[in-house]
Amino acid sequence: FSMLAPVVQLIVLSVGGWFFLHVTIPIIAFLLSYLVSRQVANEMWRVYTGLEPTKRCYWRRVVRGQVYYIVASAMGLKMILNYTSVHDLLYQWTGTHQIA
């Protein structure tokens, strides 16, 4: 049971973090476009607001997907670079296994 608490914390933090990203990524996309150019941001907003609701939803999904892929690739690269062997990768995260 002592291993369950960190796992639950990790799940809660992961779900909370991804939910936060899910909600804020479209807003961040507009803010980044505003930093690039006010004209680009205005055009992006004009096109976005002119879309049908279904296409707006699709646009938000595409933007979120791109950010998720970037974050996932960074996390994967971090995991690959931090672990020198499969043994380290498996046994650092699974304390219930016996080391042979």
Q: Which residue has the higher pLDDT, 53 or 9?
A: 53
The residue among 5, 69, 60 whose CA lies nearest residue 28 is 60
Whole-structure pTM value = 0.58
> Looking at the predicted structure, is the pLDDT value of residue 1 above 50?
no
Mean pLDDT, rounded, for 20-36 = 87
* CA-angle at 86, arms to 85 and 91, nearest 5°: 105
The answer to whether 41 and 33 have CB atoms below 8 angstroms apart is yes
Quote the pLDDT of residue 98: 58
Quote the pLDDT of residue 12: 79
Condensed to tens digits (0 to 9), the pLDDT of residues 44-87 reads: 899 999 999 999 989 988 988 888 888 889 888 887 787 767 77
Phi, psi of 59 (to 5 degrees): -60, -45
Which tokens belong to 47? 């096109």
